[in-house]
Copies of this chain bind each other. A is one copy, B any other.
Amino acid sequence: MSGAQIIDGKQVAQQVRGRVAEEVAALKRDHGVTPGLTVVLVGENPASQVYVRNKSRQTEAAGMVSTMHKLPAETSEADLLALVADLNEDPSVHGILVQLPLPEQIDETRVIEAISPAKDVDGFHPENVGRVATGAGGIAPCTPLGCVILAKTVQPDLTGMEAVIVGRSNIVGKPLAQLLLKENCTVTIAHSRTRDLPEVTRRADLLLAAVGRAEMVRGDWVKPGATVIDVGINRLEPQPGEEKGRLVGDVAFEEAREVASAITPVPGGVGPMTIACLLANTVNAARAINGLEPVAIGA
């Protein structure tokens, strides 16, 4: 029965954070640099507040300086851009993360493009998107980085694998395609306009679901023996007796684990990797700003 290995994202994330902490210590010791990550939070989105608290705690646990700017929901775009400009100039800040979504009076694209690409640890600035695509350095976004690290825990060399990504978002699907091309996968990007999606996903040795639809990928969409990475986090409607609905991924986990050889759970799969990779990006941003080569931080 249930043959698939469950990929433990919590454990892998902990390993990544351990590696980050080592690199932070080395940067302090050898170069007198303490990496600093600043988070900017506008408004009172409760999910964002939880997430931002976790970031701060993990940033400090890795030995970095964590700072936070909380701005009221009615902050103007001009004021936010002025803060970003100050942070760009601040030598103690190596990573700037403006928590999305932003209130509607603020143009997200304009804010993202105002962040210095060297400090854009989310990897959303067009210059970083371009560099990651061409292989000319750049900072890659955290969630796709986490997916690749998790896949490599079961398949250290992804060369020649058929990777199918479901979802073409700018935050996950598209950058994931670039990272998997770099790993020498044959990469297919499928999406809402794909004809016969199950047929396409059944080709995948490595199947990555990032669409944001609860349990859309069924067991019979999965090739026997495939590795399945589930990026989705969806909350179901509460069932009788439940206070909150269950959290599920984009993959029907119980079905898929019967077919796959390895699979990430939700929660506890890709989710914990995102912050860990953010910390890794911050260390490497601090290194680059100080003229040092990046270090590879896998698991």
Does A43 lie at the interface of the complex (its beta carbon under 8 Å from any beta carbon of B)?
no
Residue A19 lies at the interface, judged by CB distance under 8 Å to chain B? no
How many residues of A are in contact with the other chain, CB < 8 A?
Answer: 33
A193 lies within 8 A of B127 (CB): no
CB of A102, distance to nearest CB on chain B (Å): 16
Interface flag for A34 (CB, 8 Å): no
Main secondary structure of the interface of A (DSSP, over half): mixed
Taken together as a complex, chains A and B put the C-alpha atoms of A237 and B43 apart, in Å, by: 67
A159 to B193, CA, bound (A): 7
Q: Select A133's contact among B129, B194, B200, beta carbons within 8 Å.
A: B129
Q: Which 9 A-B pairs have the closest CB atoms?
A: A126-B130, A129-B130, A130-B130, A184-B193, A188-B188, A186-B194, A160-B195, A134-B170, A126-B131
* Chain A, 159-209, CB within 8 A of any chain B CB: 159-160, 162, 168, 170, 174, 177-178, 181, 184, 186-191, 193-195, 200
A interface residues with partner B (beta carbon < 8 Å): 109, 125-131, 133-136, 138, 159-160, 162, 168, 170, 174, 177-178, 181, 184, 186-191, 193-195, 200
Contacting residue for A189 out of B109, B127, B177, CB 8 A: B177
A134 touches B187 (CB 8 A): no
Tell me whether A130 and B135 are in contact (CB under 8 A). no
Are A195 and B189 within 8 A (Cβ)?
A: no
Given the interface pairs A127-B126, A181-B168, A195-B160, the reply to whether A134 lies near B188 with Cβ below 8 Å is no
In Å, the complex CA distance between A129 and B136 comes to 11
With beta carbons under 8 angstroms apart, the residue of B134, B159, B181, B187 that contacts A126 is B134
